[in-house]
Every structure is written in C-alpha cells, then in structure tokens.
C-alpha cells in the first residue's frame, strides 16, 4: 500500500496495540463531549491530549496532510460564514461587549465574538486528530469486531470494515492510473492548469467508480454464497480481550467525561463565560 493513502497502516506504537473497542469508546465519548461543551479550558485539555495521541501514534505528516488541509480549508470558510451571518452572536451569548475594532455597520470585531470563534476552532483541533488516529491505527477487522461488541449489528460492522479497507485500495488504484497517464504524456501534476487537471481527474474517477461497483457486486455475491448473514450472531476470529492498557483507556474516558459534566454544572450550562 502506498504510504500516503488514508487508511489503516501497521505500526508498533502503543496506540496500535490498544483494543479497538477501547479506542472506539474513547473516540465516541470524547468527541461527543468536545462537540457539546463550549468550555474553553476543557477544549484546550482535550486538544492537548488529541495532539499528543497523534504524536504517540507515529503517523507521518504526508499521510494526513491532504485531509488536514481539506478540513482546515472548510474550517476557515465555516468561521467566516459564522461571523458574516451574525457578528454579534458572541456578545449576546456572553452578555458583554468589548470592541476591539470598529468596522462597517454591524461588522465590528469584539472580544466575545473572537472568543466564541476560538472555541469553534478548538472543537476541530480536539476531534480531528482523534478521528485520524483511530482510522489509521485500527485494523478494519478489529474495528468491525469492536462495533459488534458495543451493540452494532455485525452486518453493519462488516460493511463499515469493508469500506475502510476499500478506501485505500481506491486511492492506490487512482494513484497508479494517474502515474500511467502521466507516463503517456498527459500531465496531471501541479504543473498543469487547474482545468486540465480536473479534466484528467474526471477521466479517471468515472471509470474507477463503475469498476468499483463491479468489485462490490463480486464481494457481495461471494459473501452470500458463504451464507453471510444467515445467523443472528457470529463469532470473531480477530476478537481481542481487554488488557491493563485498555482498562486504563476506559478509566481515562470516564474521568474526562466526568470532567465535562463537572464543567457543565460549574458554568451553569455548556458555555464558559470569563466575563462573569
């Protein structure tokens, strides 16, 4: 597999050896807590943990650079759109107004609005690295087993696992076709114009989608011939038992969730207001 593909990559880090179920519970619980609360202190703690876990996973920047840049681009658009639609939302939210820069009409820059937009950015910093670490350090088969353990139907679990396995294959196939096209003289690198690159991409993507559908039909037929889905339950060959590290992850998850609940009661709601 190309080292730049987005998907599971084998490794020897501590994160790779954690039980997939424990990682899934941690990801879901912490992501929900981070997306729910607007307590800046809590979001900073989760952001530090998230970035630290990303470094511990030993992932390389080139493996995730495209995704991070893509998410970063839409984050900036989201932040700008939030400000343009309601530049005074932070003022009403925190019941205080400190003008930093007078603008045109209602478009003034206030400390409260900047504080609110900063919290929105922290939410992305808290959750995106966690999702990437989980996606790229969890074997899809282990992931399917973990989903089934937390109550998801094994058919859905298998479908998710197949999708995770198939995404890197599609990326690899696209990369090989692109190189073959360039070897034949059709420039698709950054040297070519944007219109020419988009045209070349469309010539690859459309046939690739149809060939992918054929492969999906083949896999579906093969699974039906093996009576997949005949029984209500199934066992897992790759199922893992919890060890001390996995229990430690669960304990940390409970502590962080409890901290989010404590912040909720201290703040009297989801928002931390430093102007009170």
Q: Name which of 27, 31, 18, 125 is nearest 71 in CA terms.
A: 125
pLDDT class of 198 with cuts at 50, 70, 90:
confident
Cβ atoms within 10 Å, residue 231: 9
Residue pair 67/26 in contact (Cβ under 8 Å)? The answer is no
Distance separating alpha carbons of residues 47 and 271, to the nearest angstrom:
17
- Does the structure show a pLDDT above 70 at 148? yes
- On whether the CB atoms of residues 170 and 179 are closer than 8 A, the answer is no
Q: Count CB neighbours of 54 within 10 A.
A: 19
Measure the CA–CA gap between 207 and 39, rounded to whole angstroms: 48
The listed range with the strongest mean pLDDT (12-21, 122-131, 139-148, 188-197) is: 122-131
Return d(Cα 209, Cα 86) in angstroms, integer: 41
Residue 221 pLDDT grade (very low, low, confident, very high; cuts 50, 70, 90): confident
The closest alpha carbon to 234, from 121, 154, 143, belongs to 154
Considering Cα of 175, then 177, then 181, then 184, what sign does the dihedral take? positive
Confidence band for 47, pLDDT divided at 50, 70 and 90: very high
Contact present, 20 and 152 (Cβ < 8 Å): no
Task: Name the residue with tokens 């994160």.
Answer: 15
pLDDT at 7: 65
DSSP 151-204: T--HHHHHHHHHHHHHHHHHHHHHHHHHHHHHHTT---STTS-HHHHHHHHHHH
Residue 181 in this model has a pLDDT that exceeds 60: yes
What pLDDT sits at residue 254?
Answer: 94
Q: pLDDT tens, 88-144?
A: 888 888 888 888 877 777 788 888 888 899 999 999 999 988 988 888 888 777 777
Mean pLDDT for 17-46 is 89
d(CA 171, CA 156): 23
Q: What is the DSSP letter of 271?
A: B
Q: Quick one: how far is CA 90 from the chain centroid?
A: 27
What local confidence, expressed as pLDDT, does residue 220 receive?
A: 75
Instruction: Please name which of 125, 108, 120, 127 lies closest in space to residue 27, comparing C-alpha atoms.
Output: 127
Query: What is the predicted pLDDT for the residue at 189?
Result: 64
pLDDT digit string, tens, across residues 153-173: 777 777 777 777 777 777 777
d(CA 179, CA 204): 11
Sorting pLDDT into bands at 50, 70 and 90, what band is 239?
Answer: low
- Residue 69 corresponds to which tokens in the numbers above? 């840049």
- Dihedrals φ, ψ of 174, to 5°? -60, -40
Please answer whether residues 112 and 90 qualify as being in contact, where contact means their C-beta atoms are separated by less than 8 angstroms: yes
Q: Which of 60-64, 85-89, 147-151 has the highest mean pLDDT?
A: 85-89
């Amino acid at each position: 597999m190309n080292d730049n593909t987005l998907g599971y990559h084998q490794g020897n880090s501590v994160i790779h050896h954690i039980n997939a179920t424990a990682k899934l519970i941690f990801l879901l619980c912490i992501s929900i807590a981070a997306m729910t609360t607007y307590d800046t202190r809590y979001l900073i703690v989760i952001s530090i943990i998230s970035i630290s876990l990303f470094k511990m996973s030993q992932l390389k920047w080139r493996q995730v650079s495209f995704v991070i840049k893509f998410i970063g681009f839409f984050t900036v658009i989201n932040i700008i759109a939030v400000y343009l639609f309601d530049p005074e939302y932070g003022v009403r939210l925190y019941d205080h107004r400190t003008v930093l820069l007078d603008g045109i009409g209602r478009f003034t820059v206030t400390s409260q609005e900047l504080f609110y937009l900063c919290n929105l950015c922290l939410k992305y910093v808290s959750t995106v690295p966690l999702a990437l670490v989980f996606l790229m350090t969890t074997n899809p088969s282990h992931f399917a087993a973990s989903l089934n353990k937390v109550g998801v139907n094994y058919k859905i679990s298998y479908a998710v696992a197949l999708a995770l396995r198939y995404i890197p294959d599609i990326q690899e196939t696209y990369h090989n076709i692109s190189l073959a096209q360039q070897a034949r003289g059709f420039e698709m690198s950054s040297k070519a114009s944007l219109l020419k690159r988009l045209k070349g991409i469309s010539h690859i993507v459309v046939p690739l989608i149809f060939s992918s559908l054929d492969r999906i039909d083949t896999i579906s037929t093969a699974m039906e011939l093996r009576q997949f889905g005949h029984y209500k339950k199934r066992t897992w060959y790759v199922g893992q038992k919890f060890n001390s590290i996995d229990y430690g992850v669960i304990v940390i998850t409970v502590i962080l969730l409890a901290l989010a609940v404590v912040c909720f009661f201290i703040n009297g709601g989801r928002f931390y207001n430093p102007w009170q």
